[in-house]
Structure 1
Amino acid sequence: MNQEIINLFDEYTHVPLSREEFMKRLAKLTGSTAAAIAVLPLLEVNYAKAATIGEDDDDLVIESITYEGDGTTMRGYLTKPKTIATKLGSVLVIHENRGLNPHIKDIARRVAKAGYLALAVDALSPFGGTPANEDEARGLFGKLDAQKNLNNFLKGLDYLRARSESNGKTGCVGFCWGGGLANQLAVNAPQLNAAVAYYGRQADTQDVPKIKAALQLHYGGLDERVNAGIPAYEAALKDAGKKYELYVYDGANHAFNNDTAPTRYNPEAAKLAWERTLRLFKETLV
């Protein structure tokens, strides 16, 4: 697909543009309103393809949990191996700016299938949870109190460490908005053992010295918006002597790991990034 169209969709999902303005500009790029309507399903996510590991998987146990956040009750999707021979490392899974959806729940199941206690927290819990309408969900992110939101996820890490199945070691993996939050957790959670950020906003360079976790960063080579922050972030990480890995996948777009987003999903980059993610968790959480 035309890269200009993909970039426009990225602008729509992250600025965001109004639906009306997005469709008007999409029609201009595609040549007509009819062509824009035809292209739209190729851009938007299709959650029918979200389950690489089913909720009925015999090896997993799934729970809907709650815990006390910063002045609110947080909701989460917790999954773990059915058979546990020893205490488990824990991973906080952080969603994109669409909220807690079927794709992110599937990511949590992938983490659990690899042998960890996985918790996907719904950042929109203060508003009653993630709404079905994605435009509505995206609009709610701008209404989150940034400090309270960070506290809610820090308390999610506390919740995981307090679980009876936990070995006390915690990691996080976040995507897009969640990737940015993974960087923030690395700065603000000194007990965090590993933080993996997929195409997420970088932490402020002056905060880099606070990072204690092993850091792993994944970027799509075509993701100009997010990648603009890489040089300063990497320089700060090097200057501070931090343990980090940084990977840029040539030809990959923002959201390259999201297999429910047909035009942006890059199976080769996603496979390699996930292998690297699980390798880091094995090194730091077991």
Structure 2
Amino acid sequence: MNKPTQGRLTAADFDQDLLDLYDYYAHGKISKREFLDRAGKWAVGGLTAAAILGTLSPNYALAQQVAEDDDDIIGEDITYPSPDGTGDITAYIVRPANIDPAHPPAAVLVVHENRGLNPYIRDVVRRLAKAGFIAMGPDGLSSLGGYPGTDDEGRDMQRTLDQDALLNDFFAGFEYLQALEGTNGKIGATGFCYGGGVVNKLAVAYPEMAAGVPFYGAPPTAEQVAAIQAPLRIQLAALDQRINAMWPAYQEALEKNDKRYVADIYPGVNHGFHNDTTPRYDAEMAKLAETRMIAWFRTYLAG
């Protein structure tokens, strides 16, 4: 761990090997014990490995960019059925406050990371509503009581679920938006980490999906790419070795099948750079990525 910069910690305050080690832990590739054991080499000057983990973990006091009571939006928690998934799913749906019935908005499904519907993802839902969309973020942990309040617990809980059933919960969320009254009938999807992979799977399963913006998510198989019809704006972090190792084959399949896509690879940033609650957050690149996401949806989800 390097000497902290002024203000909140950023990726520049950590050795890249430590950031990569945290990425393995955050995605269940190593246990907490193994992370703490291996992070010990950076525990100097009275700093403990546990303290290092604490500084790298989300701090949701930093998460809110759009307040729940923002005058431009109206949000509520709803429940929808997922008969092929884990049961009834709780979701956070947010609408623009002033909708012109003659020009209804499109809808966007927002898929969380591998830890449930945490405050960061709820804020992303609000940001999209403030940008003019009806946005909905399902909680994949609904069958277990919902997001538990910490990402460590949420990650452990999500890992216990039947992964096919969990995926069907998000498919059911997409279908809920398809049937929702008051939209223009066009549905897009964005997601982060695990959720980025779900967006890719949605594009395969629903050729009618109007647009997708997956953030650093696992790709579909090369054979599945042929089914994709949605234009995709794929967001990748240049330092994300784990996901980027899968990108060449995905890109080749997209090109081979003549799919509409743009891939943005952000220099000098790590997996999770859009998440504003951890030191991996990069404000400049996150803002650029979000601007591109909203522009993509405005282009392809217009009525």
**What TM-score range do you get, normalising by the shorter chain?**
over 0.9
Amino acid paired to 1:191:
E
CA distance in 2, matches of 1:109, 1:44: 23
CA distance in 2, matches of 1:145, 1:75: 17
Measured on the aligned residues, the alpha-carbon RMSD in Å equals 1.4
Match for residue 81 of structure 1 among 87, 90, 96: 96
Of 237-246 and 15-24, more deviation after overlay is shown by 15-24
CA distance in 2, matches of 1:253, 1:144: 27
Query: Residues 124-145 of structure 1, C-alpha deviation per residue, up to 9 Å, x if partnerless?
Result: 1122212223222112222322
Residue-pair matches, total: 285
CA distance in 2, matches of 1:162, 1:257: 30
User: Are residues 1:188 and 2:205 paired?
Assistant: yes
Change (3 A) 1:15 1:138: same
Residue of structure 2 in register with 1:208 after alignment: 225
CA distance in 2, matches of 1:169, 1:271: 25
User: Are residues 1:163 and 2:180 paired?
Assistant: yes
Of 103-112 and 9-18, more deviation after overlay is shown by 9-18
For residues 117-132 of structure 1, what are the structure 2 equivalents within 5 Å?
Answer: 117-132=134-149
Residue of structure 1 in register with 2:67 after alignment: 54
User: Are residues 1:64 and 2:81 paired?
Assistant: no
CA distance in 2, matches of 1:250, 1:165: 39
CA distance in 1, matches of 2:73, 2:179: 20
Q: CA deviation at 1:183?
A: 0.6
User: Are residues 1:133 and 2:150 paired?
Assistant: yes
Q: CA deviation at 1:150?
A: 2.3
User: Are residues 1:175 and 2:182 paired?
Assistant: no
CA distance in 2, matches of 1:148, 1:191: 22
CA distance in 1, matches of 2:80, 2:50: 42
TM-score, structure 1 length as denominator? 0.96
User: Are residues 1:99 and 2:99 paired?
Assistant: no
Aligned with 2:274: secondary structure?
Answer: coil
Aligned with 1:120: secondary structure?
Answer: strand
Q: CA deviation at 1:33?
A: 7.2
Give the unaligned 5+ runs of structure 2: 1-13
Residue of structure 2 in register with 1:11 after alignment: 24
Query: Residues 231-261 of structure 1, C-alpha deviation per residue, up to 9 Å, x if partnerless?
Result: 0000000000000110111101000001111
Give the unaligned 5+ runs of structure 1: none
CA distance in 2, matches of 1:188, 1:212: 10
User: Are residues 1:223 and 2:207 paired?
Assistant: no
Aligned with 1:166: secondary structure?
Answer: coil
Of 213-222 and 35-44, more deviation after overlay is shown by 35-44
Percent identity (aligned)? 43
CA distance in 2, matches of 1:197, 1:61: 25
User: 2:118–2:151: 8 Å Cα contact kept in structure 1?
Assistant: no
CA distance in 1, matches of 2:269, 2:163: 29
Q: CA deviation at 1:219?
A: 0.7
Match for residue 251 of structure 1 among 256, 268, 271: 268
CA distance in 2, matches of 1:182, 1:33: 43
Q: CA deviation at 1:32?
A: 7.2
User: 1:161–1:167: 8 Å Cα contact kept in structure 2?
Assistant: no
Aligned with 2:92: secondary structure?
Answer: strand
Residue of structure 1 in register with 2:284 after alignment: 268
CA distance in 1, matches of 2:288, 2:196: 17
User: Are residues 1:149 and 2:166 paired?
Assistant: yes
CA distance in 2, matches of 1:41, 1:133: 12
TM-score, structure 2 length as denominator? 0.90
User: 2:58–2:151: 8 Å Cα contact kept in structure 1?
Assistant: no
Residue of structure 2 in register with 1:21 after alignment: 34
CA distance in 2, matches of 1:130, 1:10: 21
User: Are residues 1:41 and 2:54 paired?
Assistant: yes
